[in-house]
Amino acid sequence: MQLRGRTAIITGGAGGIGRAAALLFAREGAAVNIVDMNPEGEKIVREIQSAGGRALFEPADVTRADDCRRVVNSTVREFGGIHILFNNAGIIRRASVLETTELGWSAVIAVNVKSIFLMCREVIPAMASAGGGSIINTASGWGLAGGARAAAYCASKGAVVLMTKAMAIDHGPQNIRVNCICPGDTDTAMLRDEARQLGEEENRFLADSAKRPLGRVGRPEEIARAALFLASDAASFVTGTALVVDGGGLAASG
């Protein structure tokens, strides 16, 4: 029960890494607000509640300031405070700069970067008033090293890494730790959608994604455990870091 008595907001919480984190955080004692446009969040709430946990599903567009404000207000009203924010909402568009439309570029930046800015701007005052807390942002291995036909995504995740470091500097005096996770390819719907975007056969794409020292793609639960570490007191002296969780995919880079 590493998170007993704490409240967590998880954006993009209805599927993949977000779903795994919501279930894990709840098992570890946190009350969880699952924020997503996907109504599957309701099923996760029922699963958590049936196991004796506390959870709320909040349909919201985290690229909109009003929605982010509503999420924070309802979380405080329902659970009394906010101790953990896991900014996990994200999208990918597999395209080079020449292939990327202005609309596509803006969508990636809005979901992957702007949403973190908006959520943090709303959460930090509530978190500071509660004595501090932990913010975890989902970046990517491609926020530390480039990838083919993913210009907007790489730009957005590089921004997440440096925004994380900047916020860690600004808000450390408020006892707020800010870190990011840099997952490698993880078996989620988003990874499979990449195959469709690139016009590749799904099984072949997943096999290529598994070409890393550990010889496989990650599982959402493995990324969620890294988020749990950063959310918990086990990481009490960890802030401003980019934690790579990628099966060794970046081991030979740089």
Helices 115-129 and 151-171, axial angle in degrees (round to 10): 20
Backbone φ and ψ for 6, nearest 5 degrees, come out as -110, 160
The phi and psi torsions of 154 (rounded to 5 degrees) equal: -60, -40
Q: What is the pLDDT of residues 55-81, one digit of tens each?
A: 999 999 999 999 999 999 999 999 999
Say whether pLDDT at 254 is over 90. no
Q: What's the DSSP call for residue 242?
A: E
Q: What are the tens digits of pLDDT across the range 216-249?
A: 999 999 999 999 999 999 999 999 999 999 999 9
- Options 112, 153, 182, 206, the catalytic residue: 153
Span 97-124, average pLDDT: 98
- Per residue in 145-190, pLDDT (tens digit) is 999 999 999 999 999 999 999 999 999 999 999 999 999 999 999 9
Measured CA distances, 185 to 65, 194, 216, 246 (Å): 30, 11, 9, 7
pLDDT digit string, tens, across residues 4-59: 999 999 999 999 999 999 999 999 999 999 999 999 999 999 999 999 999 999 99
Give ranges for CATH 3.40.50.720 in the chain. Answer: 7-183+220-242
Instruction: Write down the mean pLDDT value for the chain.
Output: 97
pLDDT of residue 165: 98
Burial class (CB in 10 A: 0-12, 13-18, 19+), 124: buried
72 alpha-carbon distance from chain centroid: 17
**What string of DSSP letters covers 36-59?**
ESSTTHHHHHHHHHHTT--EEEEE
Report which DSSP code applies to 114: I
pLDDT at position 226 is 98
Is 3.40.50.720 the CATH classification of the domain at 7-183+220-242? yes
State yes or no: is 153 an active-site residue.
yes
User: How many whole angstroms separate alpha carbon 117 and alpha carbon 205?
Assistant: 33
